[in-house]
C-alpha cells in the first residue's frame, strides 16, 4: 500500500505547513539525544527526509522501509545532496528487524506512525533491543488513540465514524491493519529492555495535517498553536490527546 503513496507523500505531508512543524518538533528531540558521529538506525524511513537531516547533522544512518517505492523516492532525493554518502538504504520490515546483520547502533528513530502498522510491539521491542548498544536512545513517534481535534473536525462534517476511528482496537486501511496503542501500552511493550525517558505531544494543539487545506489560511493561528504546544509539549494531558506522541526510551 505504501508504494502507492510514495510519490505524493512529500507534497501531501512533508512540504505542508503543519507537516513541517510536526517534523521540526521531532528533529528537535533528535538533536537533544543524538550526537555527530552516532550510527543511527531509522525504521520506516519513508521518503528519506529524516535520514537526510540526520546525515546533515554528522551522523551515519541506516534508513530502512518496507516500501521499495519509498526507498526509490528517498534515493532520488538524497542523491543530489552532499550528505548522501552518510546514508545507506535497505528494504526492511519491522518484522524482519531480528535478522538485520548490522549494529549495534547508537540511536534509533521511527517517525510518524510506522509502529502503528506492527501487530507485535513486544516482538519489535525485543528485536530492536538486540540492535542498540546499552544506553542508546530510541525515539518513537506513534499515532495516539485520543485526538480531540479529529473528533471535532469530522463531527463538524457529519462523519462520526471517521471522528472516532482510533477508539477501535484496530482498523483496516488500504489493506493495512492500523493500531493505536496508548502511551502506557507502548511503554509496557518495550519493557524491560527499554526504560522511558520522556513523552511529548506532536499535534495536540496544532491540528492534524489533513486540516491543512482549510487552516493554512490562518498562518498566525497555526504559529501561535505551534509555539504554545512546543512550550507545554510534555505537560499532561497534551501527549495523551495528540495526533502523535513522541516516546523517548533508553536501551537498558
Q: Give CA–CA dist 52/71, Å, rounded.
A: 13
Domain map (residue ranges) of the chain:
2-251
Quick one: cell of 250?
533508553
**Residue 25, helix vs strand vs coil:** helix
Give 2-251's CATH code, choosing from 3.30.1330.60, 3.90.420.10, 3.40.50.150, 3.40.190.10: 3.40.50.150
Question: From first to last of its 252 residues, what are the pLDDT tens digits of the chain?
Answer: 688 889 999 999 999 999 999 999 999 999 999 999 999 999 999 999 999 999 999 999 999 999 999 999 999 999 988 888 999 999 999 999 999 999 899 999 999 999 999 999 999 999 999 999 999 999 999 999 999 999 999 999 999 999 999 998 788 876 789 999 999 999 999 999 999 999 999 999 999 999 999 999 999 999 999 999 999 999 999 999 999 999 999 999
Quick one: cell of 166?
482510533
pTM for the full predicted model:
0.97
Q: Long-range contacts: 237-240, Cβ < 8 Å, 24+?
A: 238/200, 238/201, 238/204, 238/205, 239/144, 239/183, 239/199, 239/200, 239/201, 239/204, 240/144, 240/146, 240/182, 240/183
Phi, psi of 244 (to 5 degrees): -135, 150
Amino acid at each position: 500500500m505504501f508504494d502507492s503513496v510514495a510519490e505524493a507523500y512529500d507534497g501531501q505531508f512533508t512540504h505542508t505547513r503543519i507537516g513541517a512543524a510536526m517534523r521540526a518538533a521531532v528533529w528537535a528531540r533528535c538533536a537533544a539525544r543524538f550526537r555527530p558521529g552516532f550510527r543511527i538506525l531509522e525504521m520506516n524511513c519513508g521518503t528519506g527526509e529524516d535520514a537526510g537531516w540526520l546525515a546533515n547533522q554528522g551522523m551515519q544512518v541506516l534508513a530502512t522501509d518496507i516500501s521499495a517505492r519509498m526507498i526509490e523516492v528517498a534515493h532520488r532525493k538524497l542523491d543530489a545532496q552532499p550528505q548522501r554518502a552518510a546514508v545507506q538504504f535497505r528494504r526492511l520490515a519491522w518484522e524482519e528487524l531480528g535478522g538485520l546483520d548490522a549494529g549495534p547502533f547508537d540511536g534509533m528513530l521511527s517517525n510518524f506512525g510506522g509502529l502503528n502498522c506492527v501487530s507485535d510491539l513486544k516482538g519489535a521491542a525485543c528485536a530492536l533491543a538486540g540492535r542498540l548498544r546499552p544506553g542508546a536512545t530510541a525515539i518513537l513517534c506513534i499515532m495516539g488513540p485520543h485526538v480531540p481535534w479529529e473528533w471535532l473536525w469530522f463531527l463538524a462534517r457529519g462523519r462520526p465514524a471517521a471522528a472516532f476511528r482510533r477508539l477501535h482496537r484496530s482498523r483496516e486501511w488500504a489493506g493495512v491493519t492500523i493500531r493505536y496503542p496508548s502511551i502506557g501500552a507502548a511503554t509496557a511493550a518495550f519493557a524491560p529492555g527499554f526504560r522511558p525517558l520522556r513523552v511529548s505531544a506532536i499535534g495536540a494543539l496544532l491540528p492534524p495535517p489533513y486540516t491543512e487545506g482549510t487552516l493554512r489560511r490562518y498562518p498566525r493561528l497555526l504559529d501561535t498553536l505551534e509555539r504554545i504546544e512546543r512550550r507545554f509539549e510534555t505537560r499532561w494531558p497534551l501527549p495523551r490527546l495528540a495526533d502523535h506522541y513522541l516516546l523517548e526510551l533508553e536501551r537498558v
